[in-house]
Every structure is written in C-alpha cells, then in structure tokens.
Amino acid sequence: MLVKKVILPVAGLGTRFLPATKSTPKEMLPVVNKPLIQYAVEEASKAGIEEFIFITHHTKTSIKEHFEENSGLYSKLIEDGKKDLAETIKSIGGEGAKFTYVEQAEPKGLGHAIGCAKDCIDENEWFFVILPDDLIMTKELNVTEQMIATAKSESKQVLALQRIDDDEISKYGVISPISTEGKLSKLNSIVEKPDYADAPSNLASIGRYLFNQTIFDHIDYENPGKNGEIQITDAILSDVKNFVGYEFDGMRFDCGSKAGYIKANIEFGLADDELHDELKSFIEEKKNL
Ligand code: UTP
C-alpha cells in the first residue's frame, strides 16, 4: 500500500481565534517560530508523502505564499552570512514535493472540504488527511507514520483516536468499539458530537485520517449532519466496517482552541534548546503566583 498524497483542509473560518484570524489564516499561526501548516507538511513529508493538496479559500493567499520559493529573501540571508536562517525557508516538504490548491468556496464542513479533492485521488488510491490545528508532538514515529503502518497491517482505513475527558467529549466524533485490544479498536459505529450522556465511549476521532478513495462515495452532499455541516464522521459511519481506530503515541494539542494553542507554544518552546532554560525559569516564577 503506497500513501503518496495528503489532503490539508485549511478553508475554515477560524472564528475561535478572531480577531487574529480576521486576515491571517488560523493555520498560519506560529507555534514558536513555525506556522501550524508547516508542522503538518513536515509530518507528512517525513512519512513519505510527496503531494500536498490544500483545500483552501481564495482569501487565504498567505498559505500558498509560505510554500513558494522566496529567492530574494534567500539570497539576502546568504549575502548577510545567515546560512542557517536561509536553510529554514528552503524547500519545505522535501525536494520534488508537489503542492496543489483546491478551492472550497464556502466552509460547508470537513466532509465537504475533503470531497473537494475527489478529482486529485486515483481509483483505489490510499491517501492521508491532516487537520493542521491538531498538532501532535511525538518521540520517534510521527502519527502519520504510525497510521500508515496500522493500515498496512490491518488492510483497513484508519482513524486516529484519543481518550478524551468527559467534559470535552461532546466536541468530537466518538466511536462505539466492537472491541479494543491495546491501541487498536474495531468499530461498530461513530457518532458526531454526542451529548455526554449518549457518548458510546471516551475514544474520540481527532485530526488524522487514512482513507481509501472509496470514502468519496460515502460523502452525502445533500443531507448535512450535525450543526448543518457535511460531516466526515457521517461518511465514515456509512462504511464503518472498513475502518479501524488507532490510539496513537504522542501528545496532542488542539491549536484550534486558545488554551490548546498556548500549551503547544509552551511545550514546543520547552523542547527548543535555545528557549528551554529561560522558559523553565519563567514557569517556575509563575508557579508561586
Ligand atoms: P475546525 O472546525 O476546527 O476549524 O476545522 P474552523 O471552522 O476554521 O474553526 P472555528 O471553529 O471557526 O474556530 C478543522 C480544520 O478543517 C478545516 C479548517 O480550516 C481546519 O483546518 N475546514 C473546516 C475546512 O477546510 N473547511 C470546512 O468547511 C471546515
């Protein structure tokens, strides 16, 4: 099974981050010094992905610009002897990476956004989906790599799962497992944003998916689901027997929420050798407040 393409939906409105997201896409917000969307592209690239398909809106020009060459800035940094900085803006996504942009005119939901890429995926092709606002820190294999390995061993499409606290569960797609062994769950059903009382488990689907092209046959554009949006959860439900859930190794930050975004900056900042000591003493200082 070859997985060479990733879909990156970036056409949402990012309303929880207004006013920052009035003119800056949420996916361009930096964690330390790198925009969220770059973490997503680098994660996919490390897993062997070669084509990056952005589902975008024509107002979000800065995302495209971020992945284009900036030879003027590059030469200037080299001229000024800043070779290390120059390297940071060179060929994001690896040599030969292909960037494709597909317009979603209106944010009608994640299922609709993914459906916009239908013509980019070949018959029976497997592809990955990353929601850039779910940023995941991992030690060895990243989540995309872990899920590709799971799809290969199980020959099924894969959902990334995380155990979620009771008071947060109604924000997620929640699975009802037939069985859970170790990190792997066989699925009986999945329900989008259930009330806590109706949640079938505490295992929620988060922003990583490994699909086969057949998923496009299950997206129902005529009948929107929860909150009037075309939900990818509904498409998954209609083919649920062909999916497994996988509890990944890693620390996830929901950077679509303010608290999650700030926590990501702290954790990624602490992991940066240059920032670690200064941040740590600042946190120690604050502990006493
Ligand atoms: P979210 O629902 O978290 O993003 O979608 P949002 O709608 O932009 O944010 P809020 O809730 O208003 O603050 C997760 C990802 O899916 C994309 C978003 O851009 C984000 O990266 N998305 C969502 C689309 O591309 N199209 C859609 O119709 C919906």
CA 11 to centroid of ligand 1, rounded, Å: 6
pTM of the entire structure?
A: 0.95
Probe ligand 1: pick from 10, 21, 58, 226, max atoms within 8 Å of CB? 10
pLDDT digits (tens, 9 = 90+) for 245-266: 999 999 999 999 999 999 999 9
Each residue's pLDDT tens digit, 149-200? 999 999 999 999 999 999 999 999 999 999 999 999 999 999 999 999 999 9
**Segments of the chain scoring below 70 in pLDDT:** 93, 289
Q: List ligand 1's pocket residues with C-beta within 6 A.
A: 9-16, 26-27, 55, 104, 107-110, 112-113, 131-133, 256
Q: Does domain 3-285 have CATH number 3.90.550.10?
A: yes
Query: How far apart, in whole angstroms, are the C-alpha atoms of residue 63 and residue 163?
Result: 31
Of the candidates 138, 111, 132, the one whose C-alpha atom is nearest the C-alpha of residue 41 is 132
Which atom of ligand 1 lies nearest, measured to the CA of 229? 28
Protein residue with least CA distance to atom 9, ligand 1: 14
Q: At 243, list the tokens.
A: 């999916």
Q: Residue 287 has what pLDDT?
A: 85
Residue at 192: amino acid letter = E
Predicted local confidence at residue 93, as pLDDT: 67
CB atoms under 10 Å from CB of 29, counted, come to 21
pLDDT for the residue numbered 45? 94
Q: How far is CA 107 from the centre of its chain?
A: 17
